[in-house]
Every structure is written in structure tokens, then in C-alpha cells.
Structure 1
Amino acid sequence: MLDIRRVQLVSLLADESKPIKSEILSTYMGISQRSVYYDITNINDWLDSKKLPLIETIYGEGLILPEVTKKVLQEEGVLSHKQWEYHFSSDERIAVLLVVLLTQSGAVTMKKLMDAVQMSRGTVFKDLQELKEILIDEQLTCEFEKASGYFIQGSEENKRRVLLLFLYRIKYQYKWTEKLPFLHQLSSILCIFFRSEKQEFFKKLIFKTEKELGLLMTEESSHLLLIQLLIMIDRVRDKHLVFIESDEISILQETAYYQAAEKILKVLETPFNTTFPESEISYLARQLQSFKVAHFKSMHYSSQELDDLKFVVHRMVMEFQLKACVLFDMREELERNLLAHIKPTYYRLKYNVPYSSFIVKEVQENYPDIFSFTKQVISHLEFYVRKKIPDEEVAYIALHFGGWLSREKKEISIRHRALVVCANGIGTSTMIRKQVEDLIEGLHVIAIQSLHDYEEDCDVDVIITTSSQLEHPTIPVFCVPAILTNENKANLLWEFNRLFSEENRHSLYVDSLMKTIKKHAYVHDEVGLMRSILTILEQPNLMLKEDGKPMLCDLLTNETIQFTDSVSNWKEAIRLASEPLLKNNSIELTYVDSMIQNVEELGPYIVLTKGMALPHSRPENGVQKVGMSLLRVRDAVAFSDQEKHQANLIIVLAAADNETHLTALSQLSDLLSEEENLQKLIAANSVEDVLKVIS
């Protein structure tokens, strides 16, 4: 027989007519996905013993219980009709406590908090202590009065900001659904979250505003604005108003954002029986300023802001090129697009508007080198706004840089033409293009468009989009996230293989094989498995590109590290440092001449810090393959008359393109950011000394 948990699991499947993804079952049951698959295996063994059809795994869709099995289990009374009890995680309990404290009128008793999360007094008290620590960073405090209970103290803007973030997590990160019975008890805001007719009313209002202002709102930013409006209604009803200086209100009243905010709140007054004062209209106008615009327009800035931000963006791009040893072929276009993205970032930082993004971890894990270089150049924006830039903002700026890195001029063999259509803006679009072109040999993205500009009349083989709503009558459409996971990559490869393979019988075989494997086993690395299967089947038409990014220790070896006491001048230093790369055929002699010519024309820009120079040039000037060599000169080499342009370390970089060298260079940059490591390399007398520092 099945135990209680497995009865509950099979009952959940029986309640659904469509496949359910394992992650949703994991959330429902409060167990890991691994445990879900383990339970499914045991349930299938039990069903097999009863000669019943097994739970099926439909690739890309989820798990489903066959109708025949469902009917038999219902007749035998196996299925449980008991309402399933959801158990909060620690993070979820804290989120619920905060929502209750900020959406209830007045102070909240301990009993009410215990009822909200269905936990003991001791657990709730411990959670409140953690919540207090979180609130410190938000300039809020959680207070207690014996006569009334707990309440949150602080400015109204700070309360709304933290409430917005936690409500967003409840709805979209924790993935609760309307089936959870306790939601209606928490707050009126959550009730509206799960009533589709109410959501539709707000979505139409937001869409109209988006069109009028020319905003480019992602699905995420639309959700955030919806929550902001719900919070405003709730707080204004309870007479909790935002305070904004009259001078700032006067300035905002001159903008299109204020006019749009006024229209929105006018529409909301009647159905919600609420009047919004000027301060609330101004508050909403500031929120609207924080959203992306579809295209850069100078009207979105004051003249001073425009000049300042242009300068900031230019400095960021120039320093990124210098630190990453790349040259953007379309630098001015990159700067224009980055400027359009910096605008909402600037206003979010200026007005402390919360910004929720769950791609930070994906960017850091999948593109650590690009994120690292972006983190370094973001200092120009930090200096301008006088604030530290959060990683959420850095990640999206990194998407812009990452997307542009692959846009160098090069010959490619095009077999499939693609269009990228993205609701998240130009930066995300360019990053998606980079990922899919890196993944599939012969795929070329000929254009990228926003969802606003998309037209069905396009001459491409496939459309790749972040919008699940986009369809085309004749062209295949693939929906992908901004950062592709291994599973996303596997699915994309799968579909390309199925659609474009000349050997369709291989596609059918792989399809069948993958379904069988996933039915009986949990696949940890779908991309790796897909690659292995394709290799076995010798699939020549869909070649996977190799990552091919060497580490620093792969490039600096016994053969590429040299030592000398002195050289006659900086030109000799570059020539001597280049010899290992000439010997291993990484570069041609023309590359050495080009590096020297660059210094003669541009000055000692290659001296990145006192003590270290990084000579390099364009790939087309004689690079055969990626390489790096290190020359330690005991007597410092002068690249100019100034002391700061003297170097004992001459590290020659041969970049074959704009990307392959980034991992090694990022590691070198991190290494030399610590003065101690730089001095150890300068003092090194043997290859072993150098390898100890870089390993």
C-alpha cells in the first residue's frame, strides 16, 4: 500500500486533467523534486503490481495520471479527499508575518500572527527576530506594545517598498496558487492577486499607460506596478499617505509621468471609493519614471541629466573595453542602448524604488567574467548617484555588455536565420542572441525586436522570444527565459534537432530515448545527456559549439613564463614577452608590431596599474589562437617619463575574439586587485613562484 504522502501525491495528479510540472508538485508537497521523482517511482511500482497504467512523463510538460488509472483508484477509494495542509518554509513565514503587519489596521496580536502561519508562539517569536534584522536594512523597526501587539515603525515610503518586495515574492517567487486555502485570510491584496477578473482590470489599465508613455514594461515590471497600485489603494484607504516636498511635486507635475499617474488614479477612484491627493499622484509618477522606455528619447531626461548620464555611460563602456581587452565594433550604438537602460536604473536609485530580479544568480553563475568586469566599471554610475549599485542592476547592465561582445565583424556559415523578440528590452535580447548563437552552430540571429515592434511579416526560419503569448502562423516560435538553464538549452536543441535534422529518424529515436530515460530516472544534466546522444548518433547537421574558454593556469605555463634582469626599452620588452606566443603559433609577427604601434599612437594605456602592463591588439592583426605570456623584468620598464607608467610584469594577451579570453583575463584581474599578489609576481624568480600565485 501507499503511505499518506504518496496517496496525497497521486491524489493531486488525479485532480488535474493536464500534466503538472515536478517543481509545482514539489511546492505543493513541501518536498524536493528529487523526493517527488522518488515517490513517483514507488507509486509506479505499486500501480504496475496492480496491472494499471503508470504515471506518464510528458517531455517539457510534466507528469500526468492516465484516465484509466484515475477511474480505478477513485472507485477503490484510494484517493484522498482531505484538504492538503501546506507548511510554510522559514522565508515564507517571515513574508507572511510582514504582509499581515503592514496590511492590518493597527497593531497585531501574537495570536493573530500564530494563526496566520499556523506555528507555535516560540517559532513565531523567532521569526519576528529575523524579520527585525531584515527591517534594519530598510530603515524600519518592528515594535511591540503589551496592550495592543506588534507593529512596524518607519516612513511610509520604506513600508511600501518592503511590502512590495515581499508581496512579489509571495506571488511570483514562492509560486503559491489560488488552491492554497489560507490565502484569503492574509490580506485583501492577496485576494485580488488570485482573482483573474480583478487582475485583468489592472492589466488593461497598465497596458494603456505603457502605450501612452512609450514604456517597455516586462512581465515582471507589470506585476510590480500592479502590486504597487494595490498597495497604494490599501494604504491610502487606511490614511497612510506618502510625504513628498512641495517643490518636487511642482517639478513632477510638469512631466508626462505625472499626467499618466493622474489618469490611472482617476480611474481607480470610483471602483475603490478612494481619493488620491497630489502627494500620491507624485509618488506614482516617480514609480513610472523607473520603468524602461522602448526607445531612447531625450525628452525622458532633463538636459543636465542627459549630459551627465551620457558621460557616465561613455566612461563605463571605454573602461570595460580597457579592462576586458575588447573593442566594440558598434560602440556608439551600444552607448545609446545602454543609456536607455541606465535611465530607469538612475530613477530607481534616486527614489529608492524597489526592483526585483531573479536572474542575478543565473548571470553570476553563467557569465561570471562579464559580471565581474561590469561590477568594476559600475563605479562611474555609483559616483554619479552617490550610492552603491545593487547586484540586480549590475546583472542587467552585464546583459548589455555580454550581448554586444558577440557582435564583432566575422564570417560565419549561416544555415538557419532567426529573429529574437523580447519583452524585456534590448539588453536582454542581445544576451539571448549570444546564448543561442553560442549554443547552435550555423544559427544566426539576423535581427532583434521588442514585442512592441514585432510584425509577422519576417523572413526567418525561427523566432525566439521571451513572451509566451507570441505566435506565428507558419514560422516555429521558441519561448525561452533571459538566461537559459541546462534544461532550456536541452529543450531548444531538441526542437532544432527535430525540425531541421535531415536524418529525421534520429530525431524520433532521440525523442523516444529521452522520454524513456526521464520516465525512469532523474536527469541531472539534460544538456550533457543530449550532447552525448547526439555524438553517439553522429548528428552532423546540428553541431554544438564548445565553450572553449581557457583558465588563467591553462595559458600561463612553463612554456609561456619568462624572466630577465633588464631590457633596453619598452619595445624590446614587448618583443621579448611575445616570443613564447610566436613559438606556439598563437600569434604572428604582425601582432607584435601592432601592439607596439598601438602604444606609439595611443600612449601607455596598456599599463593598467603601476608594476604591470598588458600589451594587446585586435584579433585580426595576427592572432591565430587565444594565448597569454608573462615576462618578469627585474628592473622596471618605463613606458613613459612618468613613474606610474613603469612595469616589471609584461603580460601579453592574444585574444582570438571578443570572448574566449574573458575567463582568464577576469581571473588575472581579480588576482591583481590584491596588491600582495602583484608584489609576489614581481618578486618571483622561478616559474614555480608564479604558478603558486596564479593557481
Structure 2
Amino acid sequence: MQLDDRSNKLLEDIISIPGIKGKDLETKYSLSRRQLGYSFDKINNWLSSNNLPEIIRTKQGHFVVDQSVITKLISTPEKTDFEMSILSEEQRIYLIILMILSNKELSLIHFTSELDVSKNTVLHDLKRVQACVEEYGLNVRYSRRDGYLIEGKEFEIRKLLIKVIYRVLEMPNGEERLNRLATIEKDDVDELIRRIEKVENKLNLKFTDEKIETMPFILTLTLRRIKQGNTIKPFYIHYEELSDTKEYLATEELLYDFETVPMEERLFITLHLLTTNVYWSEFLTQEAIPNLIQAIDNMLRQFEKTACIYLQDRDQLLNKLLLHIKPAYYRIKYQLTEVNESPNTVSDEFKELHHLVRKSTGPLETLIGSQIPETETTYITMLIGGWLTRQGDSIQEKVKAIVVCPRGVSVSRLMYSELRELFPEFVFLDSLSVREFQSYDFDYDIVFSPVFIQTDKKLFITSTFLEREEKFRLRKQVMLELHGYAPSEISIAEVMDIIKKHAVIEDEHNLSKELHAYLKSDNETEIASANDRLVLNLDELITPSRITLAKSAASWEEAIRLSAGPLLESGHIEPQYVEAIVTYDKDPYIVIGPNIAIPHASPDDGVNKVAMSLLRLEEGVEFTADYSINLVIVIAAVDKQQHLRALMQLLKLAGNEDDRNAIIHAENGEEVFSIIKKYSQE
């Protein structure tokens, strides 16, 4: 008799967690009282069949376990045979796949004998095996001559084999099972371990213990398949990308006496070394992956902006992330992420943090040319979360806000952007429609919305477009409601005087400038008193000389440079402003409508005078996988006020499909400007 997966887990918890109650198990595994009782009966039947005392359940819901049961089931060398007989259905499936991939002429009797189950159980398991291998585009076939085979592309078989090796090694006595079922000689494994240690010295790094444990078996079975003629066909791994790496040289050292290993196989083994996690490396260069360090740095900047957190010792964190992201780059690019053993779920503590990390991975996705899988973002979240805990920061301790707006994507995004600027100390998780809000499952503290919505959290009704006085009143209202006070104006000069008392300032001018940039968004007096600034219309900012018509752009970065060209020529912006946009601006909220985006950077990045410029592309340029952009409007703002009327007029234009399409298909700049003038009167 075999225990099913659920009964196995319940038995493990009853034995390993003293004092656990039936209700605890019901909650943990989402079971009804009847389901728990059914599994409990199965556990006792299984114990009886193995000549062990049954477990008694008290009226208070506790479990009484005889010491002989605990002794028998606790992992000790003397109990190896007994432990090996307790296999879940999932474990049997992985063992069957291992046997098929490692042996020839297997029949049902081999499986029933090895797994100690009935013929019907094995037939059921083989159906599950078929479902498992189909995920890799493979198929299980049986013939009287060859027995059971797994057929399909060898590259996919290798991916499956690597995953199976990981899973088998996780089982009790996994290494012994692997050696026996795959007929692996210990001397062969020991020799590969010695070679791998030499590779570590050559590469000046240390692989994780888990990888050192698995790599000899992966290489052994890979080399066996090559010897049997099961080789990888020429495929999409680029020789030029991998042959210049130190890992390729290390592969040559691993295989120095294997003369018949084809080039494609050497590249596959190189790829395996490149995708292998390390916990230490003496040299972290980007010679093999240009711009990787810059992409990680941009990701961290985007995260800081989104999460309203300043990362301390960011260079150390960057290096820590690089240790993981370098192998992840190759895993993602060559579709090997399913063999990565990163966890695929995050704890409740990091749930919102994970959401913000996911929103910040754009620079990495752009570099790799592919979306970052959930397993990889989860691991990045854990690394950043651990770093924040170390420096005493927590997303949980910050005020988390959402914006709920029923009035379309463009207006919703403008509200989100304006409120995020007004409350820089809050974490803004999302901008949602009312329908999305009703099924939103992240934890939040406050809601901003132009309409009343049903919520048990603090709700602040606000206009979709806030005038200066409204911003002042809203900020004061929110701060009084949350904290019981409204912050007063902060004097930069007084802050500088305090700093001078306790520190030596090397660059007083730039320190004052950065303090002003950081604190001015929190200055209600500035919002309230900025009443004499010029407010401009759309046709005053996008003039005919700032309209560029082009057929296409090779990339999003080229589109930004084309659009910003007239502003550079006129001196409204400096070259570093364009570079700042190209480097940092991948925020999806700059897409204000179908086919239209408004890339911009901070005024401090090089704006001399407020202006806008428009690029019209006949053929859309890809911004992300979700957006193709035909109209790129670069905004150069000197403050938060002068361009807002023009921005509202632009949003109305973006919401009108006919006028939007008319600009996209315009014959000349005069046609474009006539449409802009129409909205400038509103």
C-alpha cells in the first residue's frame, strides 16, 4: 500500500510539529473536516500494514504518536530501506523518467519491481509521465524491441533530464537512488568533481553547494547520451556569444580527453556552466554581457523611484544581484529557466515588494529581449528584500496607496503621476479601473479616486486634474488624517547650517541643489505660493519647428533622439537631458493613449526652458511588448506648473481616435499643427 501526496504531507507534519492540531492542518492545506478524517484513516491503515501502531486523535484535536512510529520514520542510516519505500506519486514519476532516459529495454516489470507498486499503479503513473514530458514537446513510446522510450528534440530532453536530476537528489537518499537507477559509477562522479574544482579555480569563483552536488551527475548523463549518439542538432546558441567566455575555456578543460564531443555539445555544456549559480566570484566583469551592470543599475533606480526607498551600499547590492542575474541572463535567453531552482512564490511579507520589483525589471527585459520569468523575479525580490531588512527599511512600514479612476487610461495615468509627485513619501502600487479595483489582492492603506467607491480603507476623493490650491489642500488633508499634522515649509538654508555643524561639506552648491530637488516636492508653501508662473497652451509648446515627420525609427531610443532633436537645436534642453530619458525612462505611465507616449526626465537633468517636441512615425516603434508608438512627444518641463495646461490638452487629443489617426497619417507638419491648435483653445 502507498500513501498519496496529501497523506504523506499530513503524516510528516504530525510527526515533525509537536502539538499541531487537526484544525491547523485543515487551515494549512485548505481541507474540510471530512477530508482530513479520510486522510487520517489512510495514514492509520498504512501504519497498520507496516506493523506500526496507529496514531490516536484526542477530543481536543491533538495527535498522540507512538515513539516506535517516530523512530521508524525519522531519517537514519539504519532505516534507509524503509524510507526508500515511501514514495509519493510525483516522486515515482521523476524516477520513471530517470529510468527511461538512463536505460534501454525497460518494461513494466522493471518499474513495478523498483518502485514496489502494482502494475495498475505504474500504468497510472505512466499517464502522468506522458503529461509531464508533453510540456517539453516530448512523447513516451513503447515497443517490444526497445521497451519504453522518451522521444523528441534532444535539447528538450536535456532540459527535462536536468530537472529530473534536481528532483531525485531532493528525495531521501537521492544520490543513492540516482547512482543505482542510472547505473552511475562513483569513480566517474568523483573524477568530474575534481575537474569541476579545477574549473572553479580557473574561473576564480565558487559554485553554490547545490550546483556542485548536481553538476557531476548532469555532466555524466549528458556525456553518456552523447556517446550513445543522442546529440543536440545545430541550434540557436550563438558560437560567437559563448566561445569568448571563460566558461567555454573551462568546458574545454573539463573535456580535455573527450575527443568526440561535437561543437554544439561543447556549447551546451558551456551554457550549463554559464547558467549555474555562484555564491562568490573574484571578478565580476561584463565582458561577456555588455551593458548588464548598467541594466541592473537602471533597474535599481527604477525600483527606488517606484518604492520611494533609498538603497544603501548600492554597489554591494549590485554585485550581489550580478552574481544571480548573470547566469539568469543565459537561462532566460536560452529558455532554460525551468531548470532553475529558485522559489516561485514569495512570503506575505514580500508580496507588495515583489509587485514593485516586477514593475522595475524593464531595463533587464530590454537587454535580454525577453520577459523576466516569475521564478527569476521572485529570487531578485528575495535579494532586495533581504537587503532592505538589513538596512532597516520595509515596504510594509510605508503608506501604500492606489489610484482608482473610472475615466479612461489617459486620465488615470495623469492622476497617478500627479499624486505620486505630490506624495513622494508614499508607495503608489497601481492605477486601476473600478473593475480592476474590485478584484485587487495587494495590501494597501489609502485610495485616491474622483468618485466614491466602497472600501474599508481610507478614501480621499480628489479631482482628476488638481490645481495648485487643490494640491495644497489635499496634501494637508491627507497628512492630517494619517499623521495628525501637516508638515511645514522646510528651509534648505537652515538644513545646510545644521549639516555644517556636524560635517565638512566638500561641494556646498551641489549639496544644496540636491537637497532642494529632494525636499521641494514635500513643500506645501511652494505649491501654495507658486501663483505667478506662466501657464502655456499646447500650440505654444509644440510649434511647427518642433514637429518632425519620419517613416520609422530603428528603436525606441532612436525615436527619442529624433523627437528631441529640435529642442536640442533651439537650446531648450542640453544633450544630457536626452541621455537621461534614454537611460531611465521606461515607465509604462508615459504611454498616455494608443500609439502615443510622452518621454521626459527631471528638470535638473538639463532643461533650460519649458518646451515640447513631437515626432510622428508612420510605422510604430516598439516601446515594450505591449505598446507600439507612432507619436513621441518629448516634454521639457522647468517646474510642475507651466506645462500642465498643455498636457491636459494633449491628453484630450490622445483620447480622440480620429484626430490621433489624422496626425499619424498627416502629409506634412502644417496638418499636424492645425490639429494641435484646435485643442489649444480648450
TM-score between the two structures when normalised by the length of structure 2: 0.50
Deviations 1:99-144 (A, max 9, x none): 1221113x54344344443434433333222222222222222234
Q: CA deviation at 1:281?
A: 2.7
State the structure with bigger RCO (CA 8 A, min sep 6), 1 or 2.
Answer: 1
Distance 1:44 1:245 in 2: 56
Q: Say whether residues 1:552 and 2:444 are aligned partners.
A: yes
In the alignment, is residue 285 of structure 1 matched against residue 270 of structure 2?
yes
Q: Secondary structure at the match of 2:141?
A: strand
**Aligned equivalents of 1:567 and 1:253: distance in 2?**
56
Question: Separation in 2 of the partners of 1:116 and 1:80?
Answer: 18
Amino acid in structure 1 at the alignment position of 2:162: L
1:176 equivalent in alignment to 2:173: yes
1: CA distance, partners of 2:80 / 2:166: 31
State the aligned residue count.
Answer: 421
Report the equivalent of 2:100.
101
Q: How far apart, CA to CA, are the structure 2 residues paired with 1:238 and 1:570?
A: 76
Between 563-572 and 398-407, report the one with greater CA deviation. Answer: 563-572
Q: Deviations over 1:411-458 (max 9, x none)?
A: xxxxxxxxxxxxxxxxxxxxxxx99xx9xxxxxxxxxxxxxxxxxxxx
- The match for 2:329 is 346
Q: Is the 8 A contact 1:287 1:353 kept in 2?
A: no
Name the residue aligned to 1:390. 373
Instruction: Report whether the alignment pairs 1:234 with 2:195.
Output: no
The separation in 2 between residues aligned to 1:281 and 1:178, in whole angstroms, is 26
| AA of the residue aligned to 1:595 | S
1:346 is matched by which residue type in structure 2?
Answer: Y
Tell me which amino acid in the other structure corresponds to 2:328: T
Aligned partner of 2:600 in structure 1 is: none
Q: Structure 1 residues 252 and 323, CA, compared in 2 at 3 Å: closer, same or farther?
A: closer
Alignment check: 8 A CA contact 2:247 2:273 kept: yes
Provide structure 1 residue ranges, at least 5 long, that are not aligned to the other structure. 6-20, 24-30, 46-53, 66-78, 411-433, 439-549, 612-636, 648-695
Whole-angstrom CA distance in 2 between matches of 1:350 and 1:554: 39
1:241–1:280 CA contact under 8 A, matched in 2: yes
Provide the rounded CA distance (Å) in 2 between the counterparts of 1:250 and 1:563: 58
Indicate which of 297, 301, 305 corresponds to 2:287: 301
Q: In structure 2, which of residues 173, 176, 183 is the aligned counterpart of residue 188 of structure 1?
A: 183
Partner of 1:315: 298
Change (3 A) 1:151 1:200: closer
Q: Structure 1 residues 259 and 561, CA, compared in 2 at 3 Å: closer, same or farther?
A: closer
Gap change, CA 1:281 and 1:587, over 3 Å in 2: farther
SS of equivalent residue, structure 2 residue 249: helix
| TM-score in terms of structure 1 length | 0.49
Partner of 1:159: 157
**How many Å separate the matches in 2 of 1:220 and 1:278?**
27
Identify the residue that residue 569 of structure 1 maps to in structure 2: 467
Among 521, 524, 547, the residue aligned to 1:595: 521
Matched, 1:136 2:141: no
| In 1: Cα distance, 2:646 partner to 2:282 partner | 44
In the TM superposition, residue 163 of structure 1 has moved relative to its aligned partner by 0.8
CA RMSD of aligned residues (A): 5.2
Alignment of 1:627-666 (within 5 A): 641-643=646-648
**2:566 maps to which residue?**
none
| Distance change >3 Å, CA 185–CA 82, structure 1 → 2 | closer
Deviation at 1:91, TM superposition (A): 0.6
Match of 2:88 in 1: 89
**Residue in 1 that maps onto 2:203:** 213
Measure the CA separation in 2 of the matches of 1:278 and 1:81.
42
Contact preservation (8 Å) 1:610, 1:646: yes
SS at match of 1:257: helix
Residues 142 and 153 in structure 1, CA contact (< 8 A), matched pair in contact too? yes
> For the structure 1 residues 570 and 150, does the alpha-carbon distance in structure 2 shift closer, same or farther, using more than 3 Å as the test?
farther
SS in 2 for 1:142: strand
Q: How far apart, in 1, do the equivalents of 2:464 and 2:236 lie? A: 68
Matched, 1:367 2:350: yes
Whole-Å separation in 2 of the counterparts to 1:355 and 1:218:
18
Which one has the largest radius of gyration? 2
Q: 1:384 to 1:112 in 2, by over 3 A?
A: same
Would the aligned equivalents of 2:204 and 2:282 in 1 still touch at CA under 8 Å? no
Alignment equivalent of 2:253, drawn from 220, 239, 263: 263
Cα separation, 2, equivalents of 1:42 and 1:119: 23
> SS of the counterpart of 2:207?
coil
- Is the contact between residue 344 and residue 374 of structure 2 (CA under 8 Å) also seen in structure 1? no
Q: Report Cα offsets for 1:545-574 as digits up to 9, x if no partner.
A: xxxxx9535899889434366987145325
Q: Is the 8 A contact 1:101 1:108 kept in 2?
A: yes
Q: 1:241 to 1:558 in 2, by over 3 A?
A: closer
1:420 matched residue in structure 2 = none
Equivalent position amino acid for 2:89 in 1: S
CA deviation string 1:576-616 (max 9, x = no partner): 243242255365414897435599999999989979xxxxx
Contact 1:215 1:292 in 2 (8 A): no
The percent identity for this pair of structures is: 20
Which SS does the other structure have where 1:242 is aligned?
Answer: coil
Structure 1 residue matching 2:309: 3-state secondary structure: coil
Whole-Å Cα distance in 1 between the matches of residues 458 and 82 of structure 2? Answer: 68
2:359 partner SS: helix
Aligned-residue offset at 1:334:
3.5
How far apart, CA to CA, are the structure 2 residues paired with 1:398 and 1:184?
36
* Structure 1 contact 103–187 (Cα < 8 Å) conserved: yes
Q: 1:223 aligns with which of 207, 213, 220?
A: 213
Report deviation, 1:344: 0.9
Report if aligned partners of 1:236, 1:276 keep a CA contact under 8 Å in 2: yes
Paired amino acid for 2:261: F
The 8 Å contact of residues 200 and 207 in structure 2, kept in 1 or not, is answered as yes
- CA offset digits 1:137-188 (Å, max 9, x no partner): 222222344654432112222111111111211112x2335787xx665221
Q: What CA deviation, in whole Å up to 9, does each residue of 1:354-379 have, x standing for no partner?
A: 56555525634552222222233334
**1:327 correspondence with 2:317:** no
Distance 1:292 1:358 in 2: 10
Alpha-carbon distance in structure 2 between the residues aligned to 1:104 and 1:246: 29
1:280 counterpart letter in structure 2: E
